Chain A
């Protein structure tokens, strides 16, 4: 087995808010192999983006606690101070494509400069060298190099998204975090961006940490699926198994809620709303909405059960079956 290029162990991230402590990331452990892509799926407000921000350490100021281990390429980044992290890790080893690319570009700077900026800052390249590399990165994502002198408003939505991907690629990181990279795009543009990401993964052996709430879209990129609910990982499973028979009741409900074009089945919805992260329910956090909940679920929070071959699920239903499969 190859090494995990990214590994989180017992990661915790809590925010302070007026009403109390927001438990956005609760004791999360997961790993990402080299060249693998992991899709993190869940409803909005379940802490997906917080987990990503905790990994790349782009955090707001109202942090209550931020503990655990994050190993990037074997190095525990939690031990680094902010300066070391900025110089050695962020954008060199791990970069991020933000949600809503439309708004993540600076409107008053030319796109070429924005792509070259990480090189000027991190690698201390001269401006003309950096611009050459920026042109290269832009042509990798399918944008003609003459676009370096354009401003973001001159570009369409799909092109802006490509520019943001070029920004993430330009320093040649091994891991890219994609936070809903296509949520504001049209379907055909989305398919084009997905094609680009697949091609890059194959050619460069990139590892993706792909955040989405769209299950159908997650199948485009994921080798492995992590299902998140109320700040906790509920299930981690290979894509091949997930789309056929997910184990956790929440994963099954999520799968049933996906409207499909070609398969003739009526989608169902999950009754109720996601819980508040300030006052989560007792026991298993999904139990108020879970169709197969029993007494124990309301009282005790289940541990993570190993179902074999890397498949884990956090549900009392697997208490007996553990070790048998």
Chain B
């Protein structure tokens, strides 16, 4: 698998939601995704980490064209699909899929597991019923829901959370997509099941050479799951780089704060107070001027209030958006 080959490229992608307060009032915008640029190689797995409200889910859904982008470009396999009409996107829907956060809500409760998995195959006119049956058995085996004959006729309420998430994963794989976006796939699951599901996802991703975007707020699980890490704050990517490089040598003060906030299991933890910035992520309607992290940043300088920093590359393939690294 050639990981240098590009599958997906985003150029200054924006998604603003319009809010109207009254008929004659000027619209205001929620800048959920505000200029994101990155590229994703074939068969590569990346993690997108941010707090709630940082726009990570919106970014995922915009990439999948479930939202219409406001500005910028989405280039998938050298085709600019940013403004394709829905009818022209059918092939794109086949090539991409999503695994959602809540397996209890993502699967229709009145369909059997078999029917849930058959649905995408029917919509995309995949073979006849015998070929579809074969494919469904294949994916159920891939996600290790066996014995298949037992699971296929069951309904979602008969399965546990971990099993449901396996069905959701199977559904996302039925059409053999090139790109899968997993939006917090394990946050609703029990701690002991999480690792199992993440291992399964990683294995499938590597075996089938799928490009993967793992969206999460949990930095600890990303380490085992992806090659590159993107930190998102208030609609922008503030730091990106190789996984271990970012974890061991964070450049942006927000990344540093995120890393400091995460406990490792150690009895000494109870004796110390964690050094984390107060406050909450900014309102995306009226974000602060300049760098959006400035109200919470311990290293705030004058320039941070006035101008937004550009994306810098202080170290090889390690990018950050922070004035602290501007002169180096």
Q: Give the interface of A toward B (CB within 8 A).
A: 37, 43-44, 156-159, 186-192, 194-195, 198-199, 213-223, 239-240, 242-244, 253-255, 257-263, 266-271, 273-274
Check if B270 sits within 8 Å of A220, measured CB to CB: yes
Q: Chain B: which residue is nearest A254 at the CB level?
A: B192
B224 at the interface (CB under 8 A from A): yes
- Selecting from B17-25, B32-40, B75-83, B276-284, the interface stretch reads B276-284
22 A-B pairs with C-beta separation under 8 A: A37-B270, A156-B280, A157-B280, A158-B280, A159-B280, A187-B218, A195-B274, A213-B191, A214-B191, A216-B265, A219-B264, A220-B269, A243-B265, A254-B192, A255-B265, A258-B265, A259-B223, A260-B265, A266-B224, A269-B193, A269-B196, A273-B160
Bound Cα distance from A156 to B51, whole angstroms: 13
Stretch touching chain A among B64-72, B172-180, B203-211, B253-261: B253-261
B181-204 CB mask vs A (1 if < 8 Å, else 0) is 000000000111111100100000
Complex: how many Å from CA A240 to CA B266? 8
Q: B218 to chain A: which residues have CB within 8 Å?
A: 187
Q: Is A243 a contact partner of B267 (Cβ separation < 8 A)?
A: yes
A240 touches B267 (CB 8 A): yes
The answer to whether A261 and B264 touch across the interface, beta carbons within 8 angstroms, is yes
Q: For residue A243, which residues in chain B have a CB less than 8 angstroms away from its CB?
A: 265-267
Chain B residues contacting A270 (CB-CB under 8 Å) are 192
Partner of B195, one of A199, A244, A259: A259
With both chains docked as a complex, state the minimum distance between the C-beta of A213 and any C-beta of chain B, in angstroms: 5
A242→B266 CA distance, assembly (Å): 9
Q: A215-B265, A216-B220, A218-B265 are in contact. List 13 more A-B contacts (CB 8 A).
A: A157-B280, A186-B52, A194-B274, A198-B273, A213-B190, A213-B191, A239-B270, A242-B267, A257-B192, A261-B220, A261-B223, A270-B192, A273-B193
CA distance A63 to B32 in the complex (A): 48
- A190–B183 alpha-carbon span in the complex (Å): 21
Across the interface, do B265 and A188 meet the contact criterion of CB distance under 8 Å? no
Which chain A residues lie closer than 8 Å to B193 at the CB level? Answer: 269, 273
The answer on a CB contact under 8 Å between A187 and B265 is no
Q: Which residue of A lies closest to B195 (CB)?
A: A269
Q: Is A216 touching B192 in the complex (CB atoms < 8 A)?
A: no
Counting CB contacts under 8 A, is B221 at the interface? yes
Distance in Å: Cβ of B150 to nearest Cβ of chain A: 15
Contact with A along B272-315 (1 / 0, CB 8 A): 01101110110000000000000000000000000000000000
List 3 tightest A-B contacts by C-beta distance, closest first: A191-B261, A269-B196, A186-B51
Residues of chain B with a CB closer than 8 A to A261's CB: 219-220, 223, 247, 259, 262, 264
Chain A residue contacts of B221, Cβ below 8 A: 259
Indicate the member of B247, B265, B276, B277 with the most A CB atoms within 10 Å: B265
Chain A residues within 8 Å of B259, by CB: 261
List A contacts of B217 (CB < 8 A). 186-187
How far apart are the CA atoms of A82 and B78 in the complex, in Å? 70
Bound Cα distance from A253 to B281, whole angstroms? 36
Chain A positions within 8 Å of B220 at CB level = 216, 259-261
Are B192 and A188 within 8 A (Cβ)?
A: no
- B276 contacts across to A, CB distance below 8 A: 188, 191-192, 195
